[in-house]
Structure 1
Amino acid sequence: MSTRKDSLDSDPVIESRDQLVAPMQAGEKPRSDWRIGTEHEKLVYKKDDKHAPSYEEEGGIRDLLLQLQQFGWEPVEEGGKVIAMSGPDGAISLEPAGQLELSGAPLENLHQTCAETGRHLDQVKQIGEECGVGYLGLGMWPDKTREELPIMPKGRYGIMRKHMPKVGSLGLDMMLRTCTIQVNLDYSSEADMAMKFRVGLALQPLATALFANSPFTEGKPNGFLSFRSHIWSDTDPQRTGMLPFVFDEDFGYERYVDYMLDVPMYFVFRDGQYIDAAGQSFRDFLKGELPALPGEKPRESDWWDHLSTAFPEVRLKSFLEMRGADGGPWSRICALPAFWVGLLYDQSSLDAAWDLVKDWTMEEREALRNAVPKLALDAPLPGGGTLRDIAGPVLEIARKGLSSRNMLNASGDNETGFLETLSEIVESGKVPAQRLLDKYHGEWNGDVSRIYKYSF
């Protein structure tokens, strides 16, 4: 998450509800302009003793960021500290405990997306050799306690860390111990957004299952296949979940604005500082009655900031964010955008995916989402069977969608190859976490530290 800078002179005051809807409306694009934005996070560790490096230590997170300048990345500072890097491949930023995130540039096809991911991993691995660090592609730290993890110098994270324990028992774990892969996608209209949002929410449990990759906590199996997904169930109920109103016939931008107005605030950014407004109401802010800034009304940038502080399974800003997947290695970083682009960027595939899930009740959707963190593909499916039963058909829909796009690389290959790692998971019957557990109970002989041999 990059740093925002004040520009109050050019930042309009919000005077009407139309300005709240504007970011979503601004996201509408013709199909020819649809792009793919992929984000992924990695756990960073020191190779000598496997500790998570602090910001300040030699060869630590700050040095890691600054070394990226040799590849053309430029520092972004907050309070005089480098907390992100900006470059042609997007932004590299810090999560709360030093997880390293690439927020990729909006790209036209999956070949470009996977090439971007490859460039980034090559760069950070080269710098890792210089700084003595390695990287893990997992959904959660397999062996670290909260107390063993460093804290990064970003103002918004300090406010969130203070607030999280007041609203859930696992919010600090979400901040400090987890990693995800996410893809950001476009829409052409309000109706197109609504359809993609519904399909994305309904099938998010399948993505969670296929990418489940967080079975260990503090060195032992935690009883889950995606503990990262389970963490969201006890982080903050006012800003997480499946959003039942999205499946209502009248769902659109206005309904999402209403939802966001009911999500409590975290902060306001002024004069280069984050002001604590945790638990306060954006509705009060609109009336000039925010306790943190009495008498002041919000600017448009305050609304943009607020839109980034809700964490549902799918999130709307000026694009849709698919947020259900655990972190993983290179092949799965490329596979997640392939999964969702195949389903959502071809109309026939989008319609076919909706036909699979449209008759599920909200109670059934919630039950599936709640079962997946433990059971993954064995989670009970509405109407009988398990999630495994639709995994193959959904991948086939995605494959047809990618084939229809006919986006070819220099060798004449289309984008369907990026789904192969998911097809192998379905055919084997074992998600990534189950393979890790097999190793833990087998060749690792109960020693989770062996997982570091499988780093990027």
Structure 2
Amino acid sequence: MSDSVSDCREQPRAAVTEAEVEALVRGICFKTGPPRTVGVEVEWLVHELRGPQLPVTPERLEAAYAALRTAPLRSALTVEPGGQLELSSPPAASLMECIGTVSADLGTARAVLRGHDLGLAGIGNDPWRPPRRFLREPRYDAMEACLDRTGPAGRAMMCTSASVQVCLDAGNEEPGPLGHGRRWWLAHQLGAVLVAAFANSPLAGREPTGWLSTRQLLWMEIGAGRAGAPPLDGDPRAAWARHVLDAPVMCVRRDAGPWDVPEGLTFREWARSGAPRPPTHEDLDYHLTTLFPPVRPRGHLELRMIDAQPGEDGWIVPLAVTTALFDDPEAAETAYRAVKPLAERAQSLPAPHNPLWIDAARTGLADPELREVAAACFAAALEALPRLGATAEVTGAVAAYRDRYVSRGRCPADDLLDEFHGTDRPRSRPRPTGAAPVPHGKDIRT
């Protein structure tokens, strides 16, 4: 898979016009062709082995990451602002190649971290600790200042959240089950099902938030301009180009000193006005990295809505299910037909700020319609996985997840809430379907 932002670097110091931005973005957002590669980005909370609720000092984190940077990893190693660890696989020619690469790299990473008495936790939002920034860089200083304008959700997203992000080729130029237009639409409808089926972040500050995926709540709280999707009722390339131009600029970078953090300045307005200085191709490159929609087109499709999963190998299940539902033609057609009725609940509003996604994040598979669609999609994925070369072990893990969670209308967040309340106490359920999301700036624990 190609990284779309690299194509914006041909003239790194040349000013870019509004028309050039639109043409550039339209040209790089969907690299079409038969789906051939798959990738995954897995994020983890890093914790003390003697107690996952204990904070790790910045000095110990830095020492552990310094050791990890010398380890023989095929995946790219990055550190998130709060010290979360991320491994990003190289593009793989098959699902099993991707799983093999990342599994080996995670084994290496865990061994290095154990040498520093540290471990990894797969949870979508840190249930114990408040946001605390580990990285002190101009980029994250500016990001924090920008996101603070909408309340505390931005800092929590930066410092306490973790996910499984599945990367798939954009698809064919021609229409059909593997066409890029169909896959773009499917990603936004199926995305709500993936949120519900893999919700794993019901706690913050050691208390239930009322949402099974608090991580999705955080993205909603950040706002549609930064973390929302474009409308799905037109050409995907044109819609994404408009979204990029009309999205707020996070910051204007400077060679020295703090970066400027303008308020209410869109990239379109910046290109037209040329103030505080004319934007360059490098600024467009950077602007694309500051947009966090649930599905990000980077030449390929980056599906960003899945919470980090429990267990050492929990990430494999959402990767396998999602890949099967997109890359196997029969499964893709089944998934498309299964999710079509859900589109009415979205009310033509962009994800994740529509009723369908809100219900998925709040109630998970306790929602009967989401549960029914999830069951159909898991069944289609299980039929497709052998055709994609998946081993019996991988197929068995998907079947076990279906039996433990999907068939029972549950998700990993339910396990965390059961543990919080104790097995002999009924857990509190999220607010009823249809209730309004938490307003911007309001504490998520209310």
Normalising by structure 2, we get a TM-score of 0.82
Deviates more, 1:189-198 or 1:388-397: 189-198
Residue 68 of structure 2 corresponds to which residue in structure 1? 68
Mapping for residues 36-435 of structure 1, pairs under 5 Å: 36-48=38-50, 50-55=53-58, 57=59, 60-72=60-72, 87-89=73-75, 91-146=76-131, 149-190=132-173, 192-243=179-230, 245-246=231-232, 248=233, 250-269=234-253, 271=255, 275-279=259-263, 280-287=265-272, 289-291=274-276, 294=277, 296-299=278-281, 301-328=282-309, 329-359=311-341, 360-361=343-344, 362-363=346-347, 366-379=354-367, 385-405=368-388, 407=389, 413=392, 416-424=395-403, 425-435=405-415
Q: Is the 8 A contact 1:211 1:332 kept in 2?
A: no
Distance in 2 (CA, whole Å) between partners of 1:314 and 1:67 is: 33
Alignment-mate amino acid for residue 243 of structure 2: Y
Once the two structures are TM-superposed, the CA of residue 221 in structure 1 deviates from its matched residue by: 2.2
Q: Is the 8 A contact 2:37 2:169 kept in 1?
A: yes
Instruction: Note closer, same or farther for the CA distance 1:159–1:10 as it changes in structure 2 (3 Å cut).
Output: closer
Distance in 2 (CA, whole Å) between partners of 1:220 and 1:157 is: 27
Q: Is the 8 A contact 2:366 2:409 kept in 1?
A: no
Distance in 2 (CA, whole Å) between partners of 1:422 and 1:251 is: 36
Instruction: Note closer, same or farther for the CA distance 1:389–1:7 as it changes in structure 2 (3 Å cut).
Output: closer
Q: Is the 8 A contact 1:96 1:152 kept in 2?
A: yes
Q: Deviations over 1:227-246 (max 9, x none)?
A: 11122221123122354x21
1:24 aligned to which of 24, 29, 32: 29
Distance in 2 (CA, whole Å) between partners of 1:285 and 1:355 is: 42
Q: Which structure would you say has the larger RCO, counting Cα contacts within 8 Å and 6 or more residues apart? A: 2
- Give identity over the alignment, percent: 24
Q: Is the 8 A contact 2:199 2:361 kept in 1?
A: yes
Q: Is the 8 A contact 1:403 1:414 kept in 2?
A: no
Instruction: Note closer, same or farther for the CA distance 1:9–1:321 as it changes in structure 2 (3 Å cut).
Output: closer
Alignment-mate amino acid for residue 51 of structure 1: L
Distance in 2 (CA, whole Å) between partners of 1:189 and 1:265 is: 32
Alignment-mate amino acid for residue 392 of structure 1: A
SS at match of 1:312: coil
Q: Is the 8 A contact 1:156 1:274 kept in 2?
A: no
Distance in 2 (CA, whole Å) between partners of 1:428 and 1:289 is: 56
Distance in 1 (CA, whole Å) between partners of 2:144 and 2:288 is: 19
Once the two structures are TM-superposed, the CA of residue 38 in structure 1 deviates from its matched residue by: 0.4
Q: Is the 8 A contact 2:44 2:308 kept in 1?
A: yes
Residue 440 of structure 2 corresponds to which residue in structure 1? none
Distance in 2 (CA, whole Å) between partners of 1:326 and 1:408 is: 23
Could you tell me which runs of 5 or more consecutive residues in structure 2 were left unpaired when the two chains were aligned: 427-446
Distance in 2 (CA, whole Å) between partners of 1:312 and 1:336 is: 19
Distance in 1 (CA, whole Å) between partners of 2:326 and 2:258 is: 36
Q: Is the 8 A contact 1:38 1:181 kept in 2?
A: yes
Once the two structures are TM-superposed, the CA of residue 159 in structure 1 deviates from its matched residue by: 0.6
SS at match of 1:266: coil
Distance in 1 (CA, whole Å) between partners of 2:390 and 2:414 is: 34
Once the two structures are TM-superposed, the CA of residue 418 in structure 1 deviates from its matched residue by: 4.8
Instruction: Note closer, same or farther for the CA distance 1:201–1:54 as it changes in structure 2 (3 Å cut).
Output: same
Alignment-mate amino acid for residue 240 of structure 1: A
Distance in 2 (CA, whole Å) between partners of 1:122 and 1:105 is: 17
SS at match of 1:387: helix
Once the two structures are TM-superposed, the CA of residue 12 in structure 1 deviates from its matched residue by: 6.0
SS at match of 2:143: helix
Once the two structures are TM-superposed, the CA of residue 269 in structure 1 deviates from its matched residue by: 4.8
Once the two structures are TM-superposed, the CA of residue 168 in structure 1 deviates from its matched residue by: 4.0
Instruction: Note closer, same or farther for the CA distance 1:189–1:439 as it changes in structure 2 (3 Å cut).
Output: same
Once the two structures are TM-superposed, the CA of residue 272 in structure 1 deviates from its matched residue by: 8.6
Distance in 1 (CA, whole Å) between partners of 2:252 and 2:46 is: 30
Residue 452 of structure 1 corresponds to which residue in structure 2? none
SS at match of 1:182: strand
Once the two structures are TM-superposed, the CA of residue 216 in structure 1 deviates from its matched residue by: 1.6
Distance in 2 (CA, whole Å) between partners of 1:421 and 1:63 is: 38
Q: Is the 8 A contact 2:366 2:410 kept in 1?
A: no
Once the two structures are TM-superposed, the CA of residue 396 in structure 1 deviates from its matched residue by: 1.6
Residue 449 of structure 1 corresponds to which residue in structure 2? none
| Structure with a larger share of its residues in strand | 1
Once the two structures are TM-superposed, the CA of residue 166 in structure 1 deviates from its matched residue by: 0.9
Q: Is the 8 A contact 1:141 1:217 kept in 2?
A: yes
Instruction: Note closer, same or farther for the CA distance 1:197–1:417 as it changes in structure 2 (3 Å cut).
Output: farther
Normalising by structure 1, we get a TM-score of 0.80
Once the two structures are TM-superposed, the CA of residue 264 in structure 1 deviates from its matched residue by: 0.6
Q: Deviations over 1:109-137 (max 9, x none)?
A: 22222222322222222122221212211
Task: State the aligned residue count.
Answer: 405
Distance in 2 (CA, whole Å) between partners of 1:108 and 1:173 is: 35
Deviates more, 1:273-282 or 1:353-362: 273-282
Alignment-mate amino acid for residue 371 of structure 2: R
Q: Is the 8 A contact 2:253 2:260 kept in 1?
A: no
